[in-house]
Structure formats: structure tokens, C-alpha cells
Structure 1
Amino acid sequence: MTNETKRRIEHIVPVIFVFLLKYLNTWQALLFALAGILYGLFLSKIFVKGSFREHEMERCFSFGKLIYGVMVFALILLFHKKMYIVAGAWAIMSLGDGCSNLFGKTYGKKKLPWNPEKSWIGFIAFVFFGGLGAAILMWWVNLSPLQTPLPWHYLLITAFLTSFITAGVESLPLKIDDNITVPLAAGLFLYAATIVNWKHLSHAHNIFTAFSVNVAFGLLAYYVKTVNKSGLISGVVLGTIIYLCLGPGGFLILFTFFLLGSWSSRYKYTWKASHGVAQENKGKRSSKHVIAKGGVGLVMAVMALLTNTPEIYRAAFVAAFATATFDTISSELGQIYGKRPILITTMQPVPVGTDGAISVEGTILGILSAAFIGAEAYVLHVINLQSILIVIIASFVGTTVESILGATIERRKWISNEVVNFINISTGTIVSLFFAKICLS
């Protein structure tokens, strides 16, 4: 048995513990997940020898195995009142992702056109085994007297639809660990299914206008070489959905973020390149940048359309792009105008471009850019006046968390920059949701 096969089996086997969720209360389930985290840190290398990759042996633990337990813990913490969501997301992470790798590595000759590292057979295996496992385990956990009974056909349809969408997310060429993206996407979609009102689809904006506007701007961006082909396609899809959900106001927020980000990345590019801090490919955006920076905002736009509390998710949508703008501006312009960059964890001076470095000038410019996004959203009637402060606070918190991660684990190459960006924007969005629910409900 190969080391990678051992790793996949170890990834799948824990799904049997999902059956216990029917009998555990929240604290018991959290303690159980904590045991999984400790297993990933200390015991996996003892019980499943040969399942560690070379770079994992050097740091004595596997980030993927550790994050598996962390995500189960997070799912329980977030959805403990609807434990069947935990069961479904866990099943999709374990069975869907695990079987996708097993079948894909063995039989995956026909590759996906958007990701040559993934195969059609792996995609199909993900949807089938993830959907079937999620349906069975959601039904089982929902039998608990602590859960609100749901019809089996609802669970079946939701399970397979979630598995299909999550398989799509997993198949994207992202540098983000599947143990983060898969349970997060599955958990959020399963939760969204409980609060959306499909009748609100009638409020969506004109699809022809949405698509035409985005194709026009996308081709222009491609012509001036600010995006490549994958960035063009993913950007058009992202922008079209946002336009459908929030109209021209939401699209202009996205456009402003893209404009500021592209401009700041190219601003004094020669100087940045000479100092080794310039963005790759002359600042040209690809699909990984579009998804890492815009994926969370896309989800918030959809929720703003389909839920009965659009003002909360509109604020979160704006906060997502304000956080992304704050991060880009403070980094790209802070490298140029920052007089004394310091490491956020030690407050000691560091060279320009150091992961986790901040400067007074960069931070001020970041705050101003986030405030500009918030003010623009207010003028465009996307959010109210009160939400501007929420947007600024959320973007500051998110970017601060990103700097801490950059100074600690990103510097050690434990996670990629795309993961840090995703966590940064997710943090800002979550903070905005917290304050918006308090202030806007």
C-alpha cells in the first residue's frame, strides 16, 4: 500500500464517528473534535506510519491532518444547533474528497478542462460518495430528539446538491487545503439552504444585462493585460452573479476593488521588482486571485438576494471587498511609502516585503481605501450610513489577522498566500456579520 493510499484511507475512516453525533451534546462533540486535533498533531505519525510527506516530517506534524480536526471543531461550534449540517459537511469532506482522490489517482485519465490536476472520474466520485454519505448521515443525526425533524427527500436533494457544488469548489486550481475549502463550502451551503427564500429569485436583475456588462469589462481587462484567460472567465462568472444579486451597485463595488487592486499592483512596478516585492506576472490576475479575493463576497451577494435579512448580508458583501481592498492597498502602497515597516508580532523593524510586516503609512492608506469602498456602497444605496463604520472595523480586523498569520505560519511556508487572503477576507466578513446582526436587525 502506497503512502498516499494510507493517507486517503486515514482521511475517510473518521467518517464512522459521525454516527456518534446523534447521541452527543455540543460540549461532548467539541471534546471529541479536540481529540481529533490532538490525534493529528501527535498520534497520527505513530499509528499510521508512512503517511507523512517529506516536508511534514521536517516540522513533525501534518497541516492537512491538523486542519481536518480543526474544521470538524469549527463545524460543531458554528452549527451545533443543527447538528445534521455538521454530519453532512463532515461526510462530504471525508467521503467526497477522500474517494475523489482514490478514484482520481487510479482511474482518472480524462482531466478536467479547467484543472489538469483533477479528473472527471474523481469529480463524479466526489459527488456520488459525498452526496450519498451526507444524505445517510444527515438522516441518521436528524433522528435525534434534539433536532427538528426534516423530510428525507429534502435531506437527499440537499446532500447531493451540496456535494455537487462542493466538488466544483474542490476542483478549482486553488492553493488552499481541501480540508479548509470542502467543509467550509459544504457547511455554509447546507446552512444557507435552511434560511434562503427561493421566492426572492424573482428580485434578481436582468441576466442579459449582467452578462453583457461583465463580458465587456472582462474583455477590456484582458486587453490591457490585467487578467489572464482563467481570470477573465472566472471574473465574468463572479461579476455576473454579483450583478444579478445586487444590481449595478454591487457590480461597481466589485469593479472599484478590481480597479484599485490592479492599479496599486502595477504602481511603481519597476521599483517593486528591483526590491523583490512585485506581484507575479506583472500584477496580472488569474482564477486563483479571483476566487481567493472574491469568493466570500460572492456568497454574501447571493445571501443578500435570497434571505429575508438582505441588509445584513449587503453589509457583509461590502466588508468582504473592503477587507480585500484594505489588504491590497496597505501592502502594495505600504511597501513604497512605509518609512519604517515592522513585524506585527514583535514590533521590530524588518525589510520591505516581509510577510506580516506593517507600516503606519500602509495602514492609514488601507483604512482610507476601506472607508472609500464603504462610502461608495452608501452612495450607491447598497448599505446604509451605519454600515460604513462596520465595514471599516471589519476590514481592519481581517487585515490585522492576516498580518499575524503572515508573521507566524506563512513565513514558515505552512500555508500559501492564497490561504492567508481567504482567511483575511473571511475574518472581515464574519466580523461584519456579527456587528450587522447586532446593529441592523
Structure 2
Amino acid sequence: MAASRVQTSDFRFRLLRSASSSPMACSLLPLHAPLSSRPGPRTLPLFPRGPRVLRHRPPPPPLPPLRALPDIAAGAASGIRDALADAFLASPPTWRSAASSNLAVFVAGSPLLLSGLSASGIAAAYLLGTLAWRAFGLPGFLLVVAYFVVGTAVTKLKIKQKEAQGVAEKRGGRRGPESVIGSSAAGCVCALLSIYHVGGTAFSELWRLGFVASFCTKLSDTVSSEIGKAFGRTTYLVTTFKVVPRGTEGAVSIEGTLAGIIASVFLAGVGYLLGQVGVSQVAICLLASQIANYGESYIGATLQDKEGFEWLNNDIVNVLNISIGAILAVVLQQLLVS
């Protein structure tokens, strides 16, 4: 009996030993049996956790609906339009209103400006336009615009023929700053005298008349010269009336002279319609411009390009021409009043 118990115990021992070395040993252990009676180490967080607070962020502003974009553009355009309207109608004009109004006109008329002026010529013309607007308002500015449009048109007339004959303006008829200054120096002086009230109210009308007469003189000179080059059959030297080639300094033609008179009457008439001159002053502008043009032709025939007068180029002669026209108009007006 004792021997059987020993054998039974020995069998159980071998059974447990083989089970512990077998891969299936884990399956023979009870599921609820602890793997170790020793508790494992506890890990602490690096940072203590406090109570979690939810932060409320404000919601992003809503995007404007697409239908509001045209309204924004329309509002901006309306604001610009109102600002330009205020500048155009400012009375008396200020430097700021004159500059902004002139800029708007220059942007709108840039194709015409580029056809008649170089880049530097446009800059000089902008200064002239601003000065004219500041001194005499929109009417004075429109007078300069009329002068520029007609002068550019006749300069471009038969430009290929003029270029072939060597009598055309440089740069394909596009005038530079020296031409702008030479054509407007006297008018700019009259504008400055008017702005700063030189001579008081009694002389304000005289400066306006001199301004108009200077541009009438220059337009008459430009038209007579360009029409004479394009259509003049015979050109005569103004001092001797000897027949000379087209483009000769101091030469005149019947066609060009008649066209110059019409141009002077036209621009003086524009000045009258714009309220810059009266009826009698239209006649004064015509008379002063023709006397000044004759003087310009005489200077060109006797002094220009002559030895000792190399400095007397075409631009300086133009300044003398328009200055004579403006001064004559002022003197004639004073004589008429007297």
C-alpha cells in the first residue's frame, strides 16, 4: 500500500515537471492564478495633471458673401468719382485739386498724349496742365487741350512726306520737354502772375489775356509752319520775298499764313466760349499773334543759325515768339482801355 502511494506521488511529480517545461504549460495553469505575488513598480507622470479647463476661442469672422464684392467695388468707384467731381468743381482751384484733376485727364487721354509727346514731354505737359488749371480753372486747362490737339494733328499731317523732305519734327512728330517749354513759357509766366495776384485785381484780366494770346500765337505759328511744309506750293523768305525751299528758317507761304490766321481765330474763339476773353480781346489776340509770328520769321531769317548766334535755336525763338505775342496783347488791351 505504501509502495503504491510512493509511485503515485512520483508520477504526479514527473507530470508537473514535464508540464512546466512544455510550451503548453501556461494553458494548464488556472486563469485566475497570479503571475507573481510581488507588486510591480508604480510610474508617476512627469507633470502633475491638474483639472482640464476648456478654452473658448471666439469664432472666426464670417467671410463676406460673393454678392457683396460688386457692392464694395461699386462703393469704391463711387467714392473716387465723387472725389474727382469735387476736384473738378473746386472754385477757386487749389494745387491739390488741380493736380488730381489733371492726372485723371492725363490717364484718360494717355493714347493721344503718347502719340504727340515723348515720355519726358508728357511730364512737362503735366506740369503745364496743372499750372494752367490752378491759375484759370477748367476753362484755362481746356484752352491748352485745344491747342495741343490741333497742334498735334497738323504736325502729323503728311508726316511721311515731311520726313522724306527732311523738314519733319524729330521723333516722328512727338515733341519733347524742350518743345513744351518753348511753347508755353510765356503762358506759364502769366499763370504764375495770376496765381500770386501780382498787380492785384486790376491786372488779373491782363494776365488771363496774355495767357490766351501766347497760345494763340504759338498755335498760329505751328499751323502755318506745318501746313506750309505739307501744302505750300511756294515759300518766300520774309525779309526779301525770295523763293526758298520748304523748311527754310524765316520762310513763309500763302497757304501756311492763311492757315495760321484761321488757327489763331479758332483758339481765340475757344477762349471766348470758355469765358477767358471778350469779343474785343479776340481781335487783340489775332493781331498780336500775327505781329509776333512775323517777328519770329524775321529773327529766323536774319539771326538763327548765323555765325555768333549758334545759341539761338528753334526753342529759344519759340520763347521769344510767344513772349512777343503775350506782351503785345497786354499792351494793346491797355491802349484800348485808355
TM-score w.r.t. length of structure 2 = 0.67
Q: Say which of 206, 210, 213 aligns to 2:98.
A: 210
Aligned match of 1:333: 227
Q: 1:235 to 1:333 in 2, by over 3 A?
A: same
- Residue 320 in structure 1 maps to residue 208 in structure 2: no
Q: Say which of 285, 295, 306 aligns to 2:185.
A: 295
Deviation of 1:327 (Å): 0.6
Deviation of 1:225 (Å): 3.0
Q: Say which of 273, 285, 289 aligns to 1:395.
A: 289
Aligned match of 2:278: 384
Aligned match of 1:228: 118
Aligned match of 2:52: none
Aligned partners of 1:221 and 1:227 also within 8 Å:
no
Deviation track 1:81-119 (CA, whole Å, cap 9, x = no partner) reads xxxxxxxxxxxxxxxxxxxxxxxxxxxxxxxxxxxxxxx
How far, CA to CA, are the matches of 1:434 and 1:427 in structure 2?
Answer: 10
Deviation of 1:287 (Å): 1.3
Q: Which has the higher helix share?
A: 1
Specify the SS of the correspondent of 1:342: strand
2:155 counterpart letter in structure 1: S
- Residue 435 in structure 1 maps to residue 325 in structure 2: no
How far, CA to CA, are the matches of 2:288 and 2:91 in structure 1?
Answer: 28
Q: Say which of 134, 151, 174 aligns to 1:261.
A: 151
Aligned residues: 240
TM-score w.r.t. length of structure 1 = 0.52
Deviation of 1:434 (Å): 0.6
Deviation of 1:426 (Å): 0.8
Aligned match of 1:367: 261
Higher RCO (CA-CA < 8 Å; seq separation 6+) = 2
% same residue = 32
Coordinate RMSD, CA, aligned: 1.8
- What are the ranges of 5 or more consecutive residues in structure 2 without an aligned counterpart? 1-89
How far, CA to CA, are the matches of 2:100 and 2:139 in structure 1?
Answer: 16
- What are the ranges of 5 or more consecutive residues in structure 1 without an aligned counterpart? 1-201
Q: How does 1:121-140 map to 2 (within 5 A)?
A: none
How far, CA to CA, are the matches of 1:440 and 1:282 in structure 2?
Answer: 45
How far, CA to CA, are the matches of 1:313 and 1:225 in structure 2?
Answer: 31
Aligned partners of 2:305 and 2:313 also within 8 Å:
no
Aligned match of 1:18: none
Specify the SS of the correspondent of 2:220: helix
Q: Say which of 228, 240, 243 aligns to 2:130.
A: 240
Deviation of 1:438 (Å): 2.0
1:268 counterpart letter in structure 2: K
Aligned partners of 2:235 and 2:252 also within 8 Å:
yes
- Residue 355 in structure 1 maps to residue 249 in structure 2: yes
Deviation of 1:228 (Å): 1.8
How far, CA to CA, are the matches of 1:277 and 1:334 in structure 2?
Answer: 11
